[in-house]
Amino acid sequence: MNDTPLATLLFPFERGLIDPPGGGERVLFLGAPGALHLPADFAGDMAAVQGYRPDYLALQRAGLSVTPEPEGEGYDLALVLLGRHRRENEQRLVEALKRTRPGARIAAACAKKDGGGSVRRRMVELLDLEDHASKHHGVVFWLRRPDAIETVLAALDAPESVADGYITAAGGFSDDGIDPGSALLVECLPDNLSGAVADFAAGWGYLSVAASERAPGVKSIDLYEAHHASLEAARRNMAARAPQMPARFFWQDLLGEPVNERYDVILMNPPFHRSRAAEPDMGHAMIAAAAKALKPRGRLFLVANRQLPYEESLQKHFAAQGELRRDTVFKVLWARK
C-alpha cells in the first residue's frame, strides 16, 4: 500500500504551518504506512495503527510501536491517512476524535484521486477547521478537537456494515457484498471436500462459511487474511453461520510469512491488486504458497479473472490441473499435488 498521501499529510509540518510534536507529547497515527519516514523534528511518542499485515510488519521492523487497532486515549496529536473507502475514512476520523484530548490537533490527508476535496468539504460541514492545503496531488486539513464531539460522532460513526447477510469490513475486499468470483467458485466446489481445509485470502469468510455448509466431510477450516478488520469480520461470520465448524484465524501475509500447517484442501480467491495497478505476480506467489501448504494429493480450488495466466503456475507446482468453469469475467481452476 505505497500510494498513501504521506507527503501531503506532512506538508503543513514541513512548512511551519503546524508545529511538530515535542518531547513527551503522545501521537496517534491512524493508517500509518509501512514506508513511514517522519521529519527529524518529530519528537513525540508515536503510536502507529495499521491493520494491513505487510505494512504492520514493516513498521514493526522499523522499531515503531504499532497495533492493528487503535488503543488508548488522551493523545495530544492525531495524524490520519485517508484512502478511497469512505466508510473506512469515517471510522479513522471517528477514532481520531474519540482518542484525542479536547484541544488536541488532528491532521488528516487524502489523495485528490480518492476524493480528498469532498472529504474536506464533508468535515467543514461538521467541524471548524483551522486550515487546509493542497499539495503532492492530495488535500490536507487540520483542526482542534472540540470539547463536545457527540454530534460529529453521530454523523460519522456509521452502523456496522452487513451485506448479503454477512458482516463485512470497511476497506477490505468486497465490503459491499458477496464477490461474484467467489460466488462462482462456491457453485463449482465439489461436495466431497474433506479433511483439513484452508481459506487463503479469506476476506470476511464467505468461502469458509460456504464450505462449512456444503461439504459434510470438512473437519476444520483455517482462515488466512492480511487485512485485520476483514479477519475479525470472518471470525464473527463463522461464529454466527458455521458455529459447528472448528476454525482458526491467522492474521498473516501469505506472500511474506510461511504457512506452518498442512492441508487437504485450499480454497482461494487470490488478490491481484496492492493499489490500483493489477499485479498478477501476487496470485502466482499465492499459488506457490498453496502448493507448499498442501499435503500429498491435496487439492487447490481457485477463482481468477479470465485474463490472468495462473495456469502456468499450476502446471509448475502441481501434478494435475484443469478448469471447472468460466463465464464472461471469471474462471474457476483446480489443481492436485
pLDDT digits (tens, 9 = 90+) for 251-271: 999 999 999 999 999 999 998
Are 23 and 148 part of one and the same domain?
A: yes
Closest CA to 80 of 106, 50, 115: 106
Q: Please provide the DSSP assignment of 93-157 as one string.
A: HHHHHHHEEEEEEEEEEEEGGGTHHHHHHHHHHHS-EEEEEEETTEEEEEEEPPS--HHHHHHH-
Is residue 272 assigned to a domain?
yes
Query: pLDDT tens digits for 121-162?
Result: 999 999 999 999 999 999 999 999 999 999 999 999 777 788
For the domain that residue 230 is a member of, what is the CATH number?
A: 3.40.50.150
Are 133 and 256 part of one and the same domain?
A: no
Are 298 and 195 part of one and the same domain?
A: yes
Exposure pattern of 241-252 as b/e (b: 16+ CB <10 Å)? bbeebebebbbb
Are 191 and 296 part of one and the same domain?
A: yes
Q: What is the mean pLDDT of residues 157-176?
A: 87
Query: pLDDT tens digits for 177-215?
Result: 999 999 999 999 999 999 999 999 999 999 999 999 999
Is residue 1 assigned to a domain?
no
- Number of domains present in the structure of the chain: 2
Could you say which of 128, 156, 184 is where a domain stops? Answer: 156
Are 105 and 187 part of one and the same domain?
A: no
Could you say which of 156, 173, 192 is where a domain stops? Answer: 156
Are 72 and 145 part of one and the same domain?
A: yes
Are 90 and 16 part of one and the same domain?
A: yes
The overall pTM is greater than 0.85: yes
Asked whether the predicted pLDDT for residue 275 surpasses 60, the reply is no
Is residue 303 assigned to a domain?
yes
Are 107 and 227 part of one and the same domain?
A: no
Under the banding of pLDDT at 50, 70 and 90, the label for residue 274 is low
Q: What's the pLDDT score for residue 161?
A: 80
Q: What is the mean pLDDT of residues 230-258?
A: 97
Could you say which of 109, 132, 156 is where a domain stops? Answer: 156
Is residue 228 assigned to a domain?
yes
DSSP 19: P
Q: What's the pLDDT score for residue 1?
A: 44
Residue 299: domain span: 162-336
Are 108 and 256 part of one and the same domain?
A: no
Asked whether the predicted pLDDT for residue 247 surpasses 60, the reply is yes
Is residue 94 assigned to a domain?
yes
Cα(238)–Cα(84) distance, integer angstroms: 28
Query: pLDDT tens digits for 77-108?
Result: 999 999 999 999 999 999 999 999 999 999 99
Query: pLDDT tens digits for 51-72?
Result: 999 999 999 999 999 999 999 9
Is residue 231 assigned to a domain?
yes
Asked whether the predicted pLDDT for residue 281 surpasses 90, the reply is no
Q: How many helices (H) and strands (E) does the chain have?
A: 10, 16
Are 54 and 82 part of one and the same domain?
A: yes
Are 297 and 177 part of one and the same domain?
A: yes
Q: Which residue, chain included where needed, has cell 467458485?
A: 185
Are 231 and 311 part of one and the same domain?
A: yes
